[in-house]
Amino acid sequence: MSKTRIAAIDVGNDSLKGIFGKLDYELNIPNVIARDIEDRPVIGIEELDSKEPLEGVHIKVHSPALKENNAIYRVGHLATKSDNAAELDPGSSKSEEDQTLVMLFTSLALDAVREENSANFPRNNKVIDTNYILGTGLPLREVKEGKDAGYRSKLMGSVHQVEFLVTPKYQGFKVNIKFDDVKVYPEGFAAYINLVMDNELNIINKELIDKRILIQDIGGLSTDIAVIKNRNVDDDKAQGFNLGVSESLESIREEIRSKHGVELDSRRDVVEIITKKNDRNHIMVKGSRTSVHDITDRILLDLAKKQYRLLRNVWQKNSQSEICYFVGGGSAVLKEYIKTLNNNLDGYNIDFFEDEKESIWMMANAYYKLIAEHLRRTTAQAKKDEDKKKVKA
C-alpha cells in the first residue's frame, strides 16, 4: 500500500526547488527541457550507470494535463547541453505551460524512484505507484486572474506517469503520480509566511508581525510586490508585473556570444558568471580570463532601474509601508545595483537576504511550511470525525 508523501515545489524560472517528506530530501534542477528521441546515444551502458541520475534525466511523460502527451524530453542538466533547449519565455503564464508540468512531474518521479523511498512506494516490475500532497505556487498576477483553480484541477483526479528512458540508475522505471491534495499559493503570501514563521508555523520574527511590509519578489519572468497589512496580503493593492530577469540574462548571453564568440548553454550559466564568489563577471575566452563587466553592468543596471521604478510606484500608493524585503533569485542578481540606486535616490528602508540560498529557496520553504500545516489540520480533523463516528456507534 502506497503511503502519502509531502512535496513542496517551487518551479522557478531559473531552476526547480523541491523539498520532500519530512525534510529528508531536497532537489534543485535547472528549469530547462529539450524534446528528444527514445534512444538517445550513450557510450556504453556501464558508463551510464556510473553517472549521477540528475546529470542524465531522459524521460517520457504521460498526462492528460499536458497539451503534448507522451512526449520525450531531456530535463535539467542534460537539456542545457541540447541545441533545442527550451526555457520559459517572458510573457508566458507558468500555469499554462507544459514545461511547468513536465518539471513538476519529473521532480516527483526523481524523489519517488530513490531507493530510500521503497518503503513508502512499493515497486512492482519497476512500476512505482505514488501518492503526494503537493504545496506549490503561482505568480500573484496569475492567482488574481483565477488561474490557480485551473492549474490545481489539471493535477487532481488524474494519474500522471513519468517513464525513465536512458537515465543513469533509473532506466526502465515508471512512476505513476497521484495527488491526494494540491494547494496552490500566491508567491507573495508565501514569502511573508517564510519571513515570519518557522517550519512548525511558530512566529519567529515578532517585530514584523504587525508592520506594514512590502515584499518585492523578483523572478525570471515576473515580479510580484505583495503588500502586507494586518498580517494578511492586501489583494487589492498587491501587484504583479511582467518584468523578470530572464530577458536581461538572455541579452547578456547573446552579447557575450556576439562579442566574444562564447556560447553559454543556458541562462543559468549567465547567473553563475554574475554571482560566483571568485572571478565574478569573468569568462574564459580561448583559454584566457576575460572580463564581461561592461556587458553585465550595463544590462543589469538598466533592469535594476526598472525594478526600482516599480518599488517607487507601489510605495507611493502605500505610503505608510515600513520596509520592503527583496526576495527571489532575481533579487540576488540585482542586489548591489538596487542598493546603489536606493542610496543615491530615495533612500527607502529596504532589505535583502544576505544568505543567497535562503532567498532562492524561500518559496519552496514557505510551501513546505504551509502544506505541512494543512496536512496536520486535515489529519486532526479526520481523527475528530472518526472519534465522533465511534461514539455514535
Domain limits, the chain: 4-188+363-384, 250-295
> Nearest-CA neighbor of 168 among 45, 32, 14, 71?
45
Residues 217, 354: Cα–Cα separation, whole Å: 15
Confidence of residue 355 (pLDDT cuts 50, 70, 90): low
Sign of dihedral through CA atoms 333, 334, 337, 338? negative
Treating both helix axes as pointing N-terminal to C-terminal, what angle do 246-260 and 267-275 enclose, rounded to 10 degrees? 90
| CATH level 3 topology of 4-188+363-384 | Nucleotidyltransferase; domain 5 (3.30.420)
Percent of the chain with pLDDT over 70: 95
Choice between 279 and 40, residue whose per-residue pLDDT is larger:
279
**pLDDT (0 to 100) of residue 48:** 66
Confidence of residue 46 (pLDDT cuts 50, 70, 90): very low
Q: What's the Cα-to-Cα distance from 323 to each of 51, 186, 227, rounded to whole Å?
A: 47, 20, 10
- Residue-wise pLDDT for 153-200, tens only, equals 999 989 999 999 999 999 999 999 999 999 999 877 777 787 777 777
Strand intervals (E) in 31-104: 33-35, 57-62, 71-75
